[in-house]
Structure 1
Amino acid sequence: MKKGMSLALGLTMALSLSVNAFAESSYTVKSGDVLWKIANKHDTTWQELAKINKLKNPNLIFPGQIIKINTNEEAKTEVKEVKNNKEMKNSEKVVAVLNSIETGDTSAIAYINPEKYIQHNLSAGDGLAGFGELLSKLPKGSASVDVVRVFEDGDYVITQTDYNFFGPKVGFDIFRFENGLIVEHWDNLAEKSVNPNPSGRTQLDGETKVTDLENTDKNKALVKDFVNNVLVEGKYETMGQYFDGDNYIQHNTQITDGLSGLGQAIEAMAKQGINMVYEKNHMILGQGNFVLSVSEGTFGGQKVAYYDLFRVENGKIAEHWDVIENIPNKEEWKNNSGKF
């Protein structure tokens, strides 16, 4: 079986606990039960239950199955301590999931809710099965993953990643969490450019450190206003108020640095009859100096998703990365969740 499918099915366990002596009780699996829920009810981990019951696939349990539960108080205390020591930030869980695409480390499956995984990548089906099916199509040993930027906004984790995923790509991923588990995923991917842009910048280089945490809300409001006022409403004459003069670092593959470079690019596209239209903004997510905007619109008449990452400095937009991805016709979608 291929690595991708193994990841999706979770055929190995993430955590091994050493408990030498324990007493056992049992639980009878009911319809709708999953191992992690049973574990939560009995103050243990699903990994511990999988070990005790010698479950090769912890995602496959069935009604009527007898699950042994460890009732030894000393052992349960050890389990609690391990759970506390293993607490991870949501961003760390996301990086583990993305890295597992390259490494095949199936333990990362523990961070995805097996009952609820809503997929907005239109090339993949819903749920873990859809995720696994997509990964199983990767040529063996072909995937590579390098997470360049990661930040959190409440229940959301946002990453910008250098992929080799059916060819070299750059992409943004958004993961939504509920109760510590991933339940929803959006992304936007583009081919990785071989050459730098006119200012010598790549799609991924530049500042990576999350700072300015105390101004997160202000920075998100600034970007939201810029996107809606300038990009959606087309009030380009107001652009200057969002930037510090001509100081603007640009990572778009076709545009040079500076507010002047952006203006020249918009003017050049207009002369060529290429219209870049932002119709609606769907998300503004940010932490500190980084703010991601997710919008829909058209580019040259083709329906697209715009993912724009902005770095804000001293209350002004200072740096920009983006990915524009075509949205396929609905009959080509592998799920009904939609791109947004």
Structure 2
Amino acid sequence: MTEQEQQVVDLLKSIETGATGPVSVINPKKYIQHNLAAADGLAGFGQLMALLPKGSAKVNTVRVFRDGDYVFTHTDYDFFGPKIGFDIFRFENGKIVEHWDNLQETAGPNPSGNTMTNGPTAPKDQEKTADNKALVRAFVQDILVGGQFDKLGGYIEGENYTQHNPAIGNGLSGLSAALEAMAKQGITMKYDMVHKVLGDGNFVLTVSEGSFAGKASSFYDLFRVENGRIVEHWDTIETIPLQSDWKNTNGKFAF
């Protein structure tokens, strides 16, 4: 684990422990917040923490990755209730200056028995990071944004696809069954655009904007790649609040 990765893990853990030392990694003069429930700056982070009942938070960071100036994590939270979250931190001159996240209430296990966080955690094949990022970007653009489902076979190999979305089972069959069930219930899921792609070896995270069940939503999707194919997927979906309810003016994305 790199120094910056450890600093982020320690910072997140401080939400649980109340330790003040790890917070020093945040630049006190510049901390751009994209969690729309928190005010901007270090003060906004402190205000959010102050709302937590003492001893109520639990934080278990399951995965941590780094891509250049960005560290991104996959965490099991109990933070105003059980949630799974992806966090992205941007470093500048050794300090954290920007933060994005996406939180979803914990659910599952899914029809295949997978939770929202179980599975491999350690990245490998760092030399393939750029290729894997390109593959995943193309998958999200072609399939999720473009709806070109006839191209699925070029990215996913049949049933060799482990799914962690709490509503979807493994393999292409699980995906098809879930989409059919959603259609019957009149639930639509639409990806409009990809805002960011981050990667560390065989793990790639995409940040996308769209709508779910008619509500503006943010989609964070983490993929594991093996031999040029996508073999595993974790995600969180979060409703984007009305702008009148935002606690900062930075927006959910703005990469």
Amino acid aligned to 1:338? G
Residue of structure 1 equivalent to 2:209: 296
Residue of structure 1 equivalent to 2:14: 100
String of CA shifts for 1:110-167, please: whole Å, max 9, x gaps. Answer: 2110100000000000001100001100001101110000000000000000111001
Hey, what's the Cα distance between the residues in 2 that align with 1:267 and 1:236?
Answer: 14
- The structure with the largest alpha-carbon Rg is 1
Hey, what's the Cα distance between the residues in 1 that align with 2:90 and 2:206?
Answer: 16
Structure 1 runs (4+) deviating above 2 angstroms are none
Answer yes or no: is 1:283 the counterpart of 2:191: no
Hey, what's the Cα distance between the residues in 1 that align with 2:174 and 2:94?
Answer: 43
Answer yes or no: is 1:225 the counterpart of 2:132: no
Answer yes or no: is 1:338 the counterpart of 2:251: yes
Residue of structure 2 equivalent to 1:261: 174
- Select the structure with the greater relative contact order (CA < 8 A; seq sep ≥ 6): 2
The percent identity for this pair of structures is 62
Distance apart, 1:273 and its partner CA: 1.8
Q: CA RMSD in A?
A: 0.9
Unaligned 5+ segments in structure 1 are: 1-87
Distance apart, 1:271 and its partner CA: 2.8
Amino acid aligned to 2:203? F
Aligned to 2:52, which of 134, 138, 157?
Answer: 138
Residue of structure 1 equivalent to 2:162: 249
Hey, what's the Cα distance between the residues in 1 that align with 2:218 and 2:158?
Answer: 29
Residue of structure 2 equivalent to 1:202: 115
String of CA shifts for 1:298-327, please: whole Å, max 9, x gaps. Answer: 011100000000000111000000000000
Hey, what's the Cα distance between the residues in 2 that align with 1:190 and 1:136?
Answer: 21
Hey, what's the Cα distance between the residues in 2 that align with 1:325 and 1:199?
Answer: 23
Q: Kindly indicate which of the two structures has a greater share of residues assigned to strand.
A: 2
Unaligned 5+ segments in structure 2 are: none
Aligned pairs for 1:159-170 within 5 A: 159-170=73-84
String of CA shifts for 1:158-189, please: whole Å, max 9, x gaps. Answer: 00001110011110000000011000000000
Hey, what's the Cα distance between the residues in 1 that align with 2:137 and 2:15?
Answer: 33
Residue of structure 2 equivalent to 1:328: 241
Secondary structure of 1:202's aligned partner: coil
Hey, what's the Cα distance between the residues in 2 that align with 1:263 and 1:182?
Answer: 41
Distance apart, 1:251 and its partner CA: 0.4
Residue of structure 2 equivalent to 1:56: none
Aligned to 1:117, which of 31, 41, 51?
Answer: 31
Answer yes or no: is 1:185 the counterpart of 2:68: no
Hey, what's the Cα distance between the residues in 2 that align with 1:321 and 1:175?
Answer: 19
Hey, what's the Cα distance between the residues in 2 that align with 1:260 and 1:209?
Answer: 27
Hey, what's the Cα distance between the residues in 1 that align with 2:12 and 2:26?
Answer: 12
String of CA shifts for 1:241-288, please: whole Å, max 9, x gaps. Answer: 001232100001010100121122223222322111000100000100
Secondary structure of 2:182's aligned partner: helix
Hey, what's the Cα distance between the residues in 2 that align with 1:288 and 1:99?
Answer: 25
Secondary structure of 1:102's aligned partner: helix
Residue of structure 2 equivalent to 1:313: 226
Secondary structure of 1:217's aligned partner: helix
Hey, what's the Cα distance between the residues in 1 that align with 2:243 and 2:35?
Answer: 12
TM-score, scaled to structure 2: 0.97
Amino acid aligned to 1:162? D
TM-score, scaled to structure 1: 0.73
Hey, what's the Cα distance between the residues in 2 that align with 1:167 and 1:261?
Answer: 28
Hey, what's the Cα distance between the residues in 2 that align with 1:109 and 1:295?
Answer: 28
